[in-house]
Amino acid sequence: MVLDKEGATSAIILRLDAGKPVEFPAEFVADIGEKAALTVLHHKDKVVKLFPVASEDIYLLRIEISDLSRNFLKQLNFAFNDAKLSDIIFTTGVCLRGERCYYECYFIP
């Protein structure tokens, strides 16, 4: 059921049953406009994000950071520019999960 479609967002309540697929109403899928979506679960916040994509060919870059510094972030930025990673769909930025620090991004090659 679509709760509201007049404002900037639309919302629906989806049923989550373990082992069963989640189904979106046809109207919602039509509004998304793509046949596939990258679905990301952010473990810390328990938030699921859905990113419509034209292709299922998506890569994940995950870096575990042992020593976070400003210089590391600069070097990471330079590496992205050199690799021409411009079509990034989603990035966590630098984030903690327990005692570990990660940088993750999903991108189209």
> Given a cut of 70, is residue 22 above it in pLDDT?
yes
> Given a cut of 70, is residue 2 above it in pLDDT?
no
Task: Print the domain residue range for 106.
Answer: 55-109
Note whether residue 90 is domain-resident: yes
Note whether residue 46 is domain-resident: no
> Given a cut of 70, is residue 11 above it in pLDDT?
yes
Number of domains in the chain: 1
CB 42 within 8 A of CB 49: yes
Note whether residue 2 is domain-resident: no
Binning pLDDT at 50, 70 and 90, where does residue 3 land? low
Note whether residue 6 is domain-resident: no
Maximum mean pLDDT: which of 24-33, 68-77, 93-102:
24-33
Closest to 105 measured CA to CA, from 60, 70, 68, 64: 60
Note whether residue 17 is domain-resident: no
Note whether residue 39 is domain-resident: no
Write phi, then psi, for 89 (nearest 5 degrees).
Answer: -85, -45
Q: What is the pLDDT of residue 91?
A: 87
Note whether residue 24 is domain-resident: no
Residues 35-93 have pLDDT tens digits of 899 999 988 889 999 999 998 999 998 888 887 788 888 888 888 788 777 688 998 87
CATH number for the domain spanning 71: value is 3.30.1070
Note whether residue 99 is domain-resident: yes
CB 13 within 8 A of CB 28: no
